[in-house]
Amino acid sequence: MGFLAPLFLGAAALAGLPYWLHLLRQHKTTPVPVSSLMFWEKRTTTSTKQRKLRYYALLAMRLLALLFLILAFSQPYWERTIAAGAGKRMTVAAIDNSFSMRRGGAMDAARQQALGLAGKVNPAEPGIVVAFGSGAREVGQKAEDAGTFRNNVNAIVPGDERTAYAELARVLRGLAEAHRMPLDVHVYTDLQKSGMPARFADLQLPADAKLEIHDVAPKEQANFAVESVTPPGRIFDTAKARVRATIAGLQTPKAAKSISLVADGKVLSTKTVEVPENGRASVEFTGVDTGYGFHRGEIRIDGAADAFPNDDTYRFAIERSDPRKILFLHAARDPRSSLYVKAALDAAVPNAYTIDAASYETTSSPNLTNVSFVVLADPGALSPALEASLKDYVQKGGALWVAAGPFTGALSKLPVAGLTVKGSGIASRSREMFQTVASKEPLHPVIERATGLESVKFYQVVNVEPGAGTKVLAKTADGVPVILEQSVGEGRVLVLTSPLDNLGSNLPLHPAFIPFVERAAQYLSRQQESTGIVAVGEGVELRAANDRAIGVEVLDPKGDRALTLEQAAKATSFAPGAEGYYEIRRGNGRSSLVAVNADRRESDFARMEDETVGLWKATGEPSETQRVNASGERTERVSPWWWLLLFVLLLTLAEGVLASRYLYGSGVGETSEPELVGREAA
């Protein structure tokens, strides 16, 4: 027997503390008044009687609780030996089903080798099959016979995810803890270096796990791949549309490659590019001539396929449409606001929007057909006809952006939205000459990309009181809202409590203005990025957090529904698990197309170093409480420290009950004799 922390035994000296406290029983006396002490003689009172021990059972419990607590912290242990072969072990076949395992029959080789473990599986030593890519999961149930084990192995098919060895190690640790058995782990993989985690500690295996790695990678390492593509996303002018692509040569000689631009299966253009040895080359296509609507595009490497043809094609999605229409209503005296907004949109998304500017003093019944949203720049008192027309437009699902200014501040109610206006004024001249945003909703679509919004100087802010259903997106340190969102019927109203020109703030001249206007336009027109490119496993936005009422349907590359009914009603994003084109249909009638490609880190077949493999295997050696001798016998330490803590808890509870009985229940306590106190008679 030994102790892992013997220094704690020195605390045994504290065992005298309960004994000392038991001797310090308080001696209480009751004063008795007398007329005089002249006839009393002085005498020393002994305290021997008060220092006698009482309540021996209570004292014993306190001493034992303290001693067992000290003993638990010192962690006593004894060793026991388990003969070789006496311990049961679980067989784990971990098969890499990442994107790179599609090359050269790697998956077939992995399955074939894993089937050789079926003979080791029996009810006493079961087997588990694990498939791992960017995540790891058990395949089927725990196998206690060879047939079930073989079925689980054959059920694994190659996927499109990237390798993550850290996820495999995490699942192995969970298996060892759940089944309370040491593991014999056989990993069948191509040992891609790109699958290593940033921290080596994430590869930690469970204690007493034996790791055997089977390299099933083909010998051929050279690979050409379409590494990335930058499409226009949305096309408004086919002559100006550009598609850029990067072609990578990984462990390859210098070569000339023919690259084609494809849309909906039709080759639009072909170019030849020189790829340097182990290098990269870029190619650009101009003049993407497509019809209106969504299109499935590809950049493709032509000619003889290399060792891994799966990454010779890169998918992207594009949409051709007319520019969206914005109705900009402003005062006749304010021609600058529309110029600032138009310049911001042209810089962010050229030709995506057209702005029809008009004076609201002369407009009573605007044509709101096919208008994405309406901007009201510092509206004063609108004509009843115009306000009724705008309110009806918003009630039916339209969107309105109100930029309040001095004329809006003179009103009692905000037009259309109906929010109460408390007043307007210049920032306090007794303190700062401007106000700034002190807090904001960073995840809101309008705010999330407006970096540096806190440094914008607002010289004039209209104090708008939030009403029911209003969300404050940004406010000053004094709590005055700067950006609000109000729901009106089926539509939405965005309120900026400062003008859009450079007189009320420096926002139009600030770097945050362009992304703010771009995201506001996308949000108000309910048109987030309609097309996009993501990697397998990355999140695709389905709806904003406050648009949960709008149903979303996602169709996978096969045309099947990718979401359950509950997910379609509530999910704000989803992660595609395979390559291809995903169509997103929203309940408001808007659709989008997303192209999904495998992570191109899977195209690099550089192998993990042998030294790293050896270090990984070493993480599964027996823990500090276990040792294995040359004959295979395992000696492990067994410590009862947690039993000792449990006994301390039980003693503490019993001591509390007994102490309460002595002090309150039985009436037994300290008795005191009257003490006479002399005083003069009255």
Question: Which of 458-467, 523-532, 671-680 has the lowest average pLDDT?
Answer: 671-680
Per-residue model confidence (pLDDT) at position 574: 87
Write the burial class of residue 52 (CB in 10 Å: 0-12 exposed, 13-18 middle, 19+ buried). exposed
Residue 343 or residue 632, greater confidence: 343
Half-sphere exposure of 336 (CA within 13 A, CB side): 9
Q: Where are the domains of the chain?
A: 2-75+641-678, 90-220+606-636, 324-524, 531-597
Residue 349 or residue 535, greater confidence: 535
In this predicted structure, the answer to whether residue 459 has a pLDDT above a threshold of 70 is yes
Tell me the per-residue pLDDT of 313-324, one tens digit each, with 9 for 90 and over: 999 999 888 888
Per-residue model confidence (pLDDT) at position 147: 94
- 508, two tokens: 């139009």
In this predicted structure, the answer to whether residue 58 has a pLDDT above a threshold of 50 is yes
In this predicted structure, the answer to whether residue 673 has a pLDDT above a threshold of 50 is no
Question: Which of 166-175, 467-476, 514-523, 668-677 has the lowest average pLDDT?
Answer: 668-677
Q: What DSSP designation does 498 have?
A: S
At residue 61's C-alpha, the angle toward residues 56 and 66, to 5°, is 130
In this predicted structure, the answer to whether residue 514 has a pLDDT above a threshold of 90 is yes
Question: Which of 4-18, 370-384, 591-605 has the lowest average pLDDT?
Answer: 4-18
Per-residue model confidence (pLDDT) at position 74: 81
Per-residue model confidence (pLDDT) at position 529: 46
Query: Span 431-435, mean pLDDT?
Result: 73
- 534, two tokens: 């993501």
Rounded Cα–Cα distance for residues 307 and 103 (Å): 7
Q: Is 201 left (phi over 0), alpha (psi -120 to 50) or beta?
A: alpha
Superfamily for domain range 90-220+606-636: von Willebrand factor, type A domain (3.40.50.410)
Which residues make Cβ contacts (< 8 Å) with residue 560, sequence separation at least 6? none
- 373, two tokens: 């949203």
Task: Find the distance separating the first CA and the last CA of the chain, reported in whole Å.
Answer: 76
Query: Span 116-127, mean pLDDT?
Result: 92
> Helix, strand or coil for residue 396?
coil
In this predicted structure, the answer to whether residue 481 has a pLDDT above a threshold of 50 is yes
In this predicted structure, the answer to whether residue 681 has a pLDDT above a threshold of 60 is no
Q: What is the mean pLDDT of the chain?
A: 84
Per-residue model confidence (pLDDT) at position 672: 44
Highest mean pLDDT among 72-76, 229-233, 508-512: 508-512
Which residues make Cβ contacts (< 8 Å) with residue 261, sequence separation at least 6? 243, 267, 268, 269, 270, 285, 288, 297, 298, 299
Long-range contacts from 636-639, C-beta under 8 angstroms, 24+ separation: 636/79, 636/80, 636/82, 637/4, 637/77, 637/78, 637/79, 638/77, 638/78, 638/79, 638/80, 639/4, 639/75, 639/76, 639/77
> Helix, strand or coil for residue 65?
helix
Q: Phi and psi for 25 in degrees, rounded to 5?
A: -65, 135
Per-residue model confidence (pLDDT) at position 260: 95
Question: Which of 396-405, 622-631, 660-669 has the lowest average pLDDT?
Answer: 622-631
CATH T-level topology, domain 531-597:
Immunoglobulin-like (2.60.40)
In this predicted structure, the answer to whether residue 565 has a pLDDT above a threshold of 70 is yes
Rounded Cα–Cα distance for residues 170 and 197 (Å): 12
In this predicted structure, the answer to whether residue 623 has a pLDDT above a threshold of 70 is no
Residues in the chain, total? 682
Long-range contacts from 510-514, C-beta under 8 angstroms, 24+ separation: 510/452, 510/455, 510/456, 511/451, 511/452, 512/450, 512/451, 512/452, 512/453, 512/455, 512/456, 513/340, 513/344, 514/344, 514/347, 514/348
The percent of residues in the chain predicted with pLDDT above 90, rounded, is: 43
Q: What CATH number has the domain spanning 324-524?
A: 3.40.50.880
Per-residue model confidence (pLDDT) at position 655: 79
Rounded Cα–Cα distance for residues 152 and 143 (Å): 8
Tell me the per-residue pLDDT of 128-138, one tens digit each, with 9 for 90 and over: 999 999 999 99
Spatial contact of 598 and 311, defined as CB atoms under 8 Å apart: yes
Q: Do domains 90-220+606-636 and 324-524 have the same CATH topology?
A: yes
Give the model's confidence band at 668: pLDDT under 50 very low, under 70 low, under 90 confident, else very high: very low
Tell me the per-residue pLDDT of 11-28, one tens digit each, with 9 for 90 and over: 777 766 766 666 555 455
- 222, two tokens: 């050279």
Q: How far is CA 319 from CA 83, 571, 591, in A?
A: 70, 25, 11
